[in-house]
């Protein structure tokens, strides 16, 4: 069972992985009302994207700030307070217990939801071992998911490959947000753990983060609409 009802068209989050605010604004104009939810990460965030996030929120768009915070508790808390003031819907932090605890406490009384990043979708078991972890990807994802749930995290970011297992662990209390989504026929790029939109929804994902297959498409709006159709079909909507 998945969390409370989410409008099918809100389940697609388009990643504005673009080099400038001007490029992002042009893409948003192109996509029009076909997209209601946008992700702003490092590239655009450091190029002036935070004021854009506030503007979009004021216009009724939902914003996912993918900043992957991880620092001492006080620094994380102050950062979360600043993000909440922008009107963002989601903010990512790395799934380390102290970081998650500080973020959850700092977002109290706001509408901001904290998402914990378990293991990046560009990592596989060999990458974790090279970084000094003894656990494999699936075991580390599950361990961090249990910690996140215990600490009151609102959602978990993981690859769609882990969605079904995570849904069994967290039940219907936590949102599952999955990058690494590639419609059939799309290039995989630097992602190693990927899935199609329909398969990800069927596995238990609530939100699908899609970047290049939309923003680099010949017709971005048509690409977004095709993903909406696939999501709706998977939901039986």
Q: Domain range for residue 134?
A: 8-235
What is the pLDDT at residue 172? 86
pLDDT at 188: 47
Give the Å distances, CA to CA, from 78 to 66, 72, 117, 207: 16, 10, 19, 27
Looking at residue 186, its pLDDT comes to 56
Instruction: Indicate which residues carry an active-site annotation.
Output: 68
Residue 153 within any structural domain of the chain: yes
pLDDT reading at 147 higher than 90: yes
115 assigned to some structural domain: yes
Find the mean pLDDT for residues 127-133: 94
Whether residue 190 lies inside any domain: the answer is yes
Per-residue pLDDT, 160? 84
pLDDT of residue 184: 58
Calculate what percentage of the chain has a pLDDT beyond 90. 74
Q: Tell me, yes or no, whether 2 lies in a domain.
A: no
- φ/ψ of 207, rounded to 5, equals -125, 140
Number of separate domains in the chain: 1
The pLDDT score that the predictor gives to residue 194 is 58
In a domain, 156, yes or no: yes
Residue 237 pLDDT grade (very low, low, confident, very high; cuts 50, 70, 90): low
Q: Which CATH number characterizes residue 128's domain? A: 3.20.20.70
- What pLDDT is recorded for position 162? 84
């Amino acid at each position: 069972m998945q969390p409370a009802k989410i409008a099918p068209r809100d389940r697609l989050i388009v990643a504005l992985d673009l080099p400038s605010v001007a490029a992002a604004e042009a893409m948003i104009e192109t996509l029009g009302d076909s997209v209601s939810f946008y992700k702003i990460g490092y590239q655009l965030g450091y190029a002036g994207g935070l004021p854009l996030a506030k503007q979009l929120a004021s216009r009724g768009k939902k914003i996912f700030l993918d900043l992957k915070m991880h620092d001492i508790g006080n620094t994380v808390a102050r950062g979360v307070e600043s993000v909440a003031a922008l009107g963002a819907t989601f903010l990512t932090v790395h799934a380390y217990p102290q970081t998650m605890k500080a973020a959850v406490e700092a977002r109290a009384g706001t509408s901001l939801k904290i998402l914990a990043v378990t293991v990046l979708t560009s990592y596989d078991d060999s990458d974790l071992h090279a970084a000094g972890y003894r656990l494999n990807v699936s075991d580390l994802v599950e361990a961090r998911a249990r910690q996140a749930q215990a600490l009151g995290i609102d959602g978990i970011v993981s690859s769609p490959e882990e969605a079904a297992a995570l849904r069994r662990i967290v039940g219907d209390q936590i949102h599952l947000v999955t990058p690494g989504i590639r419609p059939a026929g799309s290039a995989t790029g630097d992602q190693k753990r990927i899935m199609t939109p329909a398969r990800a929804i069927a596995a238990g994902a609530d939100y699908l983060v899609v970047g290049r297959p939309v923003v680099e498409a010949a017709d971005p709006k048509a690409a977004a609409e095709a993903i909406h159709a696939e999501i709706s079909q998977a939901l039986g909507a």
